[in-house]
């Protein structure tokens, strides 16, 4: 084992990891296909470190946006943000896709109080089916929409926002008042926000150098701040910053992101394991697997290296996951007895101080028992994955009861789950994703693989509207015919 | 009889002075009062109370004590707990101390309440300490502003105890107030507590129901005043507490409602009606704000408004949990300025919003109107019922009144050239 680690550190050395980390933190245009830096760490910096882009100091600009955000958040949480009839806002709908959706949803879902001051909801998908059912539940007089989109041209979000605007006007709001009192825009494009109708004082800004999947630390985190309060949002940033400092300064032998990444490299490139499962043993983290699915696979699902050549080795594994105890009743069968080996990340808090808030002693005891039960299951699963039959005193004789074992897993324990530790946990995965990319010589900060589908969809939409399906492949043409109601 | 009364708010002082005026020897111990409190602070809020207290002190029947004298006072026969609803912990601590100090048969009376079952809990504490003291519940039905007359001419006297000696002692003590007809009703301690709370809850439901109707009436061009007259003629309903307006408030009433909710919750019950009534009330407390917001198209930051009345009801200086505070907070948050008049509560206002740059206190109602965009009314003080409308009109920028208490006749207001916005008047 120690030799393996030494070999992996040597690999990191050979791939110039230290240089890459410094380039990342000092704002080099490390995202070379888009000629941009990736400076999400600056969004959570606790002091000015002098980083500049195009001669402009970044830290003061970030602080200005945080302060502008704080003003809006304070007004909303104080019950003094008013809808078009003067009623205080009670519900906020976050409208965004990808990072603008998953980040806020993950954090709020994990940490919101049971009786929140302001209720948070989410709309992302373009189809409108969820939009209609959500709007049915909400009061137009007391609902505020956060329109979050880096470009402010994302078709999914534009479509949802337009529906929300129509809904407000259907209940008697004038267009001007609906826009002024019921929409906050969060974007890297001020002109686009203005053009859509967001009033200037309700526009929050972030920057080109913030990637969508790294954006929850920016003003995209507005919904988090509204739901949890500005203090908690700042603790989230502080926790992530603590991980940044650790990543940049700790020796590799103690460096969590580095070790987590190198273990992926070992499993992927040396053991040939294709899958990685994210398995939190705390249901508050139920959205973490989806969040990390995007973070890791959108970053490292690449096959062209930094020099523009096709890589000759495997890169990102297939990542998925589920709350561990639920997954035990779903895909753990495959983990233990399938033909594909899977590397697992188990995640759990050591302490559950939230249980102490429970007033009833018997309920408290029952909840503590449940926490112990979850931890016992986590340990049992990681142990059985490693040992297989050897975990038993007497190995089974029936072939169908045989466990091969010899599967790798990593267990991450948090002191407790709070805004600080969740910030650190997310930042840990961001940096491990970066380290993997450095080893694989790929750019983790672009996502050209999602563009072509969007382009073709525009062409397809025209075809669906006009009924002209010429030039499409046979399968698509047949489906278009079915959609148009004509016999195939 | 020797009576000790614990508390500093108006129920304690009115009870103390009134019982002293019947010849009892009364000592008031204002336990847990705010720092630097003097009895004049409380008496000032209640018409006639200062004179009553003064007279009884001069007659030598009313005395004040402090916590150091507790062991001496414990020898008295009757102890009346008259804390505020917010002082539940202080009351419980006092009972713990008294339990070890009572040596003779003693009557411990709870006059203000801290949840259903509190009296039973006190009785248990006394028994556990080996005390022979008996607990009786005597819920007070005084409302601020009219407390003295309500104490001396009660609609009913409810005594909650299972003990015959306690019943006869209370009957004897309250004889001067029970002469015309016997209105003393005896029940179990918890029933007495629940009665008081149920009354308050029904009042809250009634007002919120009327407010909900008033808002519907406003949408449909119906005058809620006509509807109110019609409803009141039904003998099953009657005319009281049917006035729509800018919501209810006040520290004791709201604390009682909170106590009802927590009593339900302690029993594992989820109350449905009261939370709904409270939600309606929250909206209603801001009804004038909503009207202003819509009328001025959300542009309030450049405006000054005259505001008449901030106490939670007339004849009191108390502003805690008053509807007016919700309106003031909302207007301040939008950047509006306020010129405020209240016959009694301006000093409370200055404490609540010390040196606020957007607030000016005015000595007369007319001063408040000078240069204001419109006049807002939040408390139905008698002073405001028949003002000099010409004087108002001459001072306001525009003859426009937003009335949260429906003081005036809309037709008349129109005749004399005012734009008049009331609650549910539908015109």
Nearest-by-CA chain B residue for A74: B333
Task: Check whether residue B15 and residue B117 sit in a common domain.
Answer: yes
Nearest-by-CA chain A residue for B284: A87
pLDDT above 60 (res B163): yes
CB contact under 8 A, B298 and A181: yes
Of B234, B225, B333, nearest in space to A86 by CA = B333
The proportion of chain A whose per-residue pLDDT surpasses 70, expressed as a percent, equals: 100
Tally of domains within chain B: 2
- Does the annotation count A67 as an active-site position? no
| CB nearest to B333's CB, from A75, A87, A180 | A75
Whether residue B226 lies within 8 A of chain A, CB to CB, comes out as no
Please give the pLDDT value at position B427. Answer: 56
Is B193 within a domain? no
Give residue-wise pLDDT tens across range A24-40: 999 899 999 999 999 99
The CA radius of gyration of chain A, in Å to the nearest whole number, is: 24
Please give the pLDDT value at position A164. Answer: 95
Of A207, A160, A204, A210, nearest in space to A186 by CA = A204
Task: Check whether residue B152 and residue B235 sit in a common domain.
Answer: no
| CB nearest to B330's CB, from A80, A85, A181 | A80
Of B202, B275, B208, B283, nearest in space to B243 by CA = B208
| CB nearest to A78's CB, from B283, B291, B333 | B333
Whether residue B265 lies within 8 A of chain A, CB to CB, comes out as no
Backbone φ/ψ region at B71: left (φ over 0), alpha (ψ -120 to 50), beta? alpha
Give residue-wise pLDDT tens across range A448-477: 998 899 889 989 999 999 988 888 999 999
Task: Check whether residue B149 and residue B283 sit in a common domain.
Answer: no
pLDDT above 80 (res A1): no
Contact indicator for A217, A426 with CB cutoff of 8 Å: no
* Interstrand relation of B25-29 and B62-64 (parallel, antiparallel or unpaired): parallel
Is B192 within a domain? no
Of A143, A126, A140, A136, nearest in space to A90 by CA = A143
Is B427 within a domain? no
Structure tokens at A187: 């974007």
Please give the pLDDT value at position A127. Answer: 81
**CA distance linking residue B259 with residue B55, whole number of Å:** 36
Using a CB-CB cut-off of 8 Å, the residues of chain A touching B334 are: 80, 82
**CA distance linking residue A70 with residue A229, whole number of Å:** 9
Using a CB-CB cut-off of 8 Å, the residues of chain B touching A82 are: 293, 298, 330, 334
Using a CB-CB cut-off of 8 Å, the residues of chain A touching B290 are: 85-87
Query: Which CATH number does the domain housing residue B258 bear?
Result: 3.40.50.720
* Interstrand relation of A275-280 and A203-205 (parallel, antiparallel or unpaired): unpaired
Full-model pTM: 0.87
CB contact under 8 A, A80 and B292: no
* Total number of residues shown for chain A: 488
**Which residues partner with A185 through β-bridges?**
A147, A203
Using a CB-CB cut-off of 8 Å, the residues of chain A touching B292 are: 86
pLDDT above 70 (res A116): yes
pLDDT above 60 (res A118): yes
Nearest-by-CA chain B residue for A173: B294
Give residue-wise pLDDT tens across range A292-301: 999 999 999 9
pLDDT above 70 (res A190): yes
Is B242 within a domain? yes
Is B353 within a domain? yes
Backbone φ/ψ region at B298: left (φ over 0), alpha (ψ -120 to 50), beta? left
To the nearest whole Å, the CA of A177 is away from the closest chain B CA by 8
Using a CB-CB cut-off of 8 Å, the residues of chain B touching A141 are: none
Q: What are phi and psi of B178, to 5 degrees?
A: -135, 40
Give residue-wise pLDDT tens across range A269-292: 999 999 999 999 999 999 999 999
- A87 DSSP 8-state letter: P
Task: Check whether residue B147 and residue B295 sit in a common domain.
Answer: no
CB contact under 8 A, A86 and B333: no
Any idea of the CA torsion for A457, A460, A462, A467, to the nearest 10 degrees? -160
**CA distance linking residue A219 with residue A204, whole number of Å:** 6
Give residue-wise pLDDT tens across range A129-167: 889 899 999 999 999 999 999 999 888 889 999 999 999
B144: pLDDT confidence band, cut at 50, 70 and 90?
confident
Using a CB-CB cut-off of 8 Å, the residues of chain B touching A75 are: 333
Whether residue B326 lies within 8 A of chain A, CB to CB, comes out as no
A203: pLDDT confidence band, cut at 50, 70 and 90?
very high
CB contact under 8 A, B291 and A86: yes
Nearest-by-CA chain A residue for B289: A86
Using a CB-CB cut-off of 8 Å, the residues of chain B touching A88 are: 286
Whether residue B408 lies within 8 A of chain A, CB to CB, comes out as no
Task: Check whether residue B179 and residue B290 sit in a common domain.
Answer: no
Of B7, B28, B18, nearest in space to B174 by CA = B18
Nearest-by-CA chain A residue for B292: A86
Task: Check whether residue B245 and residue B118 sit in a common domain.
Answer: no
**CA distance linking residue A85 with residue B309, whole number of Å:** 24
Give residue-wise pLDDT tens across range B297-344: 999 999 999 999 999 999 888 999 999 999 999 999 999 999 999 999
| CB nearest to B290's CB, from A78, A87, A177 | A87
Whether residue A181 lies within 8 A of chain B, CB to CB, comes out as yes
Please give the pLDDT value at position B209. Answer: 97
Whether residue A74 lies within 8 A of chain B, CB to CB, comes out as no
Whether residue A363 lies within 8 A of chain B, CB to CB, comes out as no
Query: What distance separates the 2 farthest-apart alpha carbons in chain A?
Result: 75
- A281 DSSP 8-state letter: S
Whether residue B290 lies within 8 A of chain A, CB to CB, comes out as yes
Task: Check whether residue B177 and residue B217 sit in a common domain.
Answer: no
Give residue-wise pLDDT tens across range B190-201: 999 999 999 999
Task: Check whether residue B207 and residue B180 sit in a common domain.
Answer: no
Whether residue A117 lies within 8 A of chain B, CB to CB, comes out as no
To the nearest whole Å, the CA of B253 is away from the closest chain A CA by 23
Is B250 within a domain? yes
pLDDT above 90 (res A52): no
Contact indicator for A9, A249 with CB cutoff of 8 Å: no
SS3 A329: coil
Domain housing B60: 2-187
- A470 DSSP 8-state letter: T
- Does the annotation count A298 as an active-site position? yes
**CA distance linking residue A12 with residue B204, whole number of Å:** 71
Give residue-wise pLDDT tens across range B24-33: 999 999 998 9
| Alpha helices in B112-267, H assignment, sequence order | 118-128, 147-152, 164-173, 189-220, 224-232, 251-266
- Does the annotation count A454 as an active-site position? yes
Whether residue A85 lies within 8 A of chain B, CB to CB, comes out as yes
| CB nearest to A80's CB, from B292, B297, B333 | B333
CB contact under 8 A, A181 and B292: no
| CB nearest to B294's CB, from A78, A86, A180 | A86
**CA distance linking residue A179 with residue A188, whole number of Å:** 19
To the nearest whole Å, the CA of B317 is away from the closest chain A CA by 26
Using a CB-CB cut-off of 8 Å, the residues of chain B touching A180 are: 298
Nearest-by-CA chain B residue for A87: B290
Query: Which entry of A121, A234, A298, A436 is annotated as an active-site residue?
Result: A298
Average pLDDT, chain A: 94
Task: Check whether residue B144 and residue B224 sit in a common domain.
Answer: no
SS3 B249: coil
A487: pLDDT confidence band, cut at 50, 70 and 90?
low
**CA distance linking residue B349 with residue B355, whole number of Å:** 10
CB contact under 8 A, B330 and A177: no
CB atoms within 10 A of CB A146: 27
Please give the pLDDT value at position B37. Answer: 93
**CA distance linking residue B368 with residue B305, whole number of Å:** 8
A423: pLDDT confidence band, cut at 50, 70 and 90?
very high
- DSSP for A94-141, written as a single string: EE--THHHHHHHHHHHHH--SS-SSEEEEE--TTSHHHHHHHHHS-GG
Q: What are phi and psi of B348, to 5 degrees?
A: -65, -40
Report how many helices (DSSP H) and strands (DSSP E) chain B contains, helices first: 18, 14
Task: Check whether residue B143 and residue B20 sit in a common domain.
Answer: yes
Q: What angle do CA A11, A14, A18 make, to 5 degrees?
A: 100
Count Cα neighbours of B263 within 13 Å in the Cβ-side half-sphere.
19
**CA distance linking residue B364 with residue A398, whole number of Å:** 96
Task: Check whether residue B43 and residue B101 sit in a common domain.
Answer: yes
Give residue-wise pLDDT tens across range A224-243: 999 999 999 999 999 999 99
Of B152, B6, B126, B128, nearest in space to B76 by CA = B6
CB contact under 8 A, B289 and A86: yes
pLDDT above 70 (res B374): yes
pLDDT above 60 (res A220): yes
Nearest-by-CA chain A residue for B299: A177
A486: pLDDT confidence band, cut at 50, 70 and 90?
confident
**CA distance linking residue B165 with residue B104, whole number of Å:** 14
Any idea of the CA torsion for B273, B276, B281, B284, to the nearest 10 degrees? -130
Nearest-by-CA chain A residue for B330: A80
Using a CB-CB cut-off of 8 Å, the residues of chain B touching A179 are: none
SS3 B343: coil
- A269 DSSP 8-state letter: I
- A253 DSSP 8-state letter: G
CB contact under 8 A, B286 and A85: no
Task: Check whether residue B43 and residue B124 sit in a common domain.
Answer: yes
Using a CB-CB cut-off of 8 Å, the residues of chain B touching A87 are: 283, 286, 290
Element (DSSP H or E) covering residue B10? helix B10-21
Sign of dihedral through CA atoms A18, A24, A27, A32? positive
CB atoms within 10 A of CB B240: 9
Of A25, A47, A48, nearest in space to A37 by CA = A25
Using a CB-CB cut-off of 8 Å, the residues of chain B touching A89 are: none
Structure tokens at A67: 């302060």
**CA distance linking residue A446 with residue A440, whole number of Å:** 15
* Interstrand relation of A56-57 and A52-53 (parallel, antiparallel or unpaired): antiparallel
Average pLDDT, chain B: 94
Query: Which entry of A16, A274, A454, A459 is annotated as an active-site residue?
Result: A454
**CA distance linking residue A178 with residue A197, whole number of Å:** 10
To the nearest whole Å, the CA of A377 is away from the closest chain B CA by 33
Of A56, A72, A118, nearest in space to A92 by CA = A118
């Amino acid at each position: 084992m120690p030799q393996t680690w030494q070999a992996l550190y040597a690999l990191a050395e050979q791939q110039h990891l230290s240089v890459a980390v410094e380039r990342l933190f000092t704002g080099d245009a490390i995202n070379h296909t888009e000629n941009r830096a990736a400076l999400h760490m600056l969004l959570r910096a606790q002091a000015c470190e002098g980083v500049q882009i195009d001669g402009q100091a970044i830290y003061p600009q970030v602080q200005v946006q945080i302060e502008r955000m704080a003003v809006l958040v304070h007004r909303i949480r104080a019950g003094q943000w008013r809808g078009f009839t003067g009623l205080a806002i009670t519900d906020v709908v976050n409208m965004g896709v990808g990072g603008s959706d998953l980040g806020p949803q993950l954090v709020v879902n994990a940490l919101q109080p049971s009786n929140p001051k302001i209720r948070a909801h989410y709309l992302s998908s373009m189809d409108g089916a969820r939009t209609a059912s959500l709007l049915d539940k909400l009061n137009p007089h007391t609902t505020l929409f956060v329109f979050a989109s880096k470009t402010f041209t994302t078709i999914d979000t534009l479509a949802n926002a337009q529906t929300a605007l129509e809904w407000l006007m259907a209940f008697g709001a004038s267009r001007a008042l609906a826009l002024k009192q019921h929409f906050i825009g969060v974007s890297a494009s001020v002109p686009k926000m203005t053009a859509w109708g967001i009033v200037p004082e309700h526009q929050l800004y972030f920057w080109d150098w913030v990637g969508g999947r790294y954006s929850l630390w920016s003003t995209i985190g507005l919904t988090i701040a509204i739901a949890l309060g500005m203090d908690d949002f700042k603790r989230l940033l502080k926790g992530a910053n603590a991980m940044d400092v650790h990543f940049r300064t700790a020796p590799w032998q103690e460096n969590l992101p580095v070790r987590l990444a190198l273990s992926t490299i070992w499993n992927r490139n040396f053991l040939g394991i294709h899958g990685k499962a994210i398995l939190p043993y705390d249901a508050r983290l139920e959205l973490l697997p989806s969040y990390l699915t995007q973070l890791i696979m959108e970053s490292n699902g690449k096959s062209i290296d930094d020099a523009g050549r096709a890589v000759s080795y495997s890169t990102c594994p297939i990542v998925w996951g589920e709350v561990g105890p639920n997954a035990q009743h779903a895909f753990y069968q495959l983990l233990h007895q399938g033909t594909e080996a899977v590397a697992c990340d188990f995640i759990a808090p050591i302490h559950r101080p939230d249980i102490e808030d429970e007033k009833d002693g018997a309920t408290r005891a029952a909840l503590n028992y449940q926490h112990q039960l979850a931890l016992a299951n986590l340990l049992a699963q990681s142990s059985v994955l490693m040992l297989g039959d050897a975990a038993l005193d007497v190995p089974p004789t029936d072939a169908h009861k045989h466990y091969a074992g010899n599967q790798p897993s990593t267990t991450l324990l948090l002191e407790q789950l709070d805004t600080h530790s969740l910030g650190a946990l997310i930042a840990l995965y961001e940096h491990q994703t970066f380290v993997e990319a450095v080893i694989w010589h790929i750019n983790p900060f672009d996502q050209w693989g999602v563009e072509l589908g969007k382009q073709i969809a525009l062409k397809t939409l025209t075809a669906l509207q006009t009924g002209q399906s010429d030039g499409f492949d046979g399968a698509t043409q047949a489906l278009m015919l079915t959609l148009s109601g004509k016999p195939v | 009889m020797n009576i000790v009364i614990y508390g500093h708010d108006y129920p304690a002082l009115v009870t103390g002075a009134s019982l002293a005026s019947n010849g009892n020897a009364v000592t008031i111990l204002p336990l847990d009062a705010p720092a630097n409190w003097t009895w004049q602070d409380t008496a000032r809020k209640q018409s006639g109370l200062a004179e009553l207290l003064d007279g009884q002190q001069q007659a030598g029947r009313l005395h004040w004590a402090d916590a150091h004298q507790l062991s001496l006072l414990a020898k008295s026969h009757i102890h009346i707990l008259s804390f505020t609803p917010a002082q539940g912990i202080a009351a419980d601590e006092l009972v713990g101390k008294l339990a070890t100090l009572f040596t003779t048969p003693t009557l411990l009376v709870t006059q203000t309440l801290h949840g259903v079952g509190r009296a039973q809990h006190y009785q248990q504490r006394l028994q556990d300490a080996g005390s022979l003291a008996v607990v009786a519940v005597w819920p007070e039905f005084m409302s601020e502003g009219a407390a003295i007359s309500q104490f001396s001419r009660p609609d009913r006297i409810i005594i909650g105890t299972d003990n015959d000696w306690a019943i006869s002692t209370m009957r004897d003590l309250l004889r001067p107030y029970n002469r015309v007809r016997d209105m003393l009703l005896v029940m179990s301690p918890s029933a007495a507590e629940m009665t008081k709370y149920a009354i308050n809850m029904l009042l809250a439901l009634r007002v919120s129901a009327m407010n909900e109707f008033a808002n519907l009436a406003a949408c449909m061009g119906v005058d809620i005043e006509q509807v109110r007259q019609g409803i009141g003629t039904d003998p099953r309903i009657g005319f009281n507490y049917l006035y729509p307006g800018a919501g209810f408030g006040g520290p004791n009433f709201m604390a009682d409602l909170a106590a009802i909710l927590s009593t339900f919750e302690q029993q594992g019950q989820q109350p449905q009606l009261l939370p709904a009534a409270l939600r309606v009330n929250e909206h209603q407390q801001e009804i004038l704000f909503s009207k202003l917001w819509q009328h001025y198209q959300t542009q309030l930051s450049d405006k000054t408004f005259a505001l008449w009345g901030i106490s939670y009801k007339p004849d009191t200086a108390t502003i805690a949990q008053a509807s007016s505070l919700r309106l003031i907070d909302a207007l301040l948050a939008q950047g509006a300025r306020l010129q405020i008049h209240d016959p009694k509560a301006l000093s409370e206002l200055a404490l609540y919003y010390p040196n606020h740059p957007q607030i000016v206190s005015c000595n007369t109602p007319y001063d408040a109107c000078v240069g204001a965009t419109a006049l807002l009314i939040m408390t139905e003080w008698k002073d405001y019922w028949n003002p000099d409308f010409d004087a108002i009109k001459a001072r306001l920028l525009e003859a426009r009144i937003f009335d949260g208490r429906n003081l005036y006749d809309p037709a008349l207001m129109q005749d004399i050239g005012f734009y008049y916005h009331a609650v549910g008047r539908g015109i």
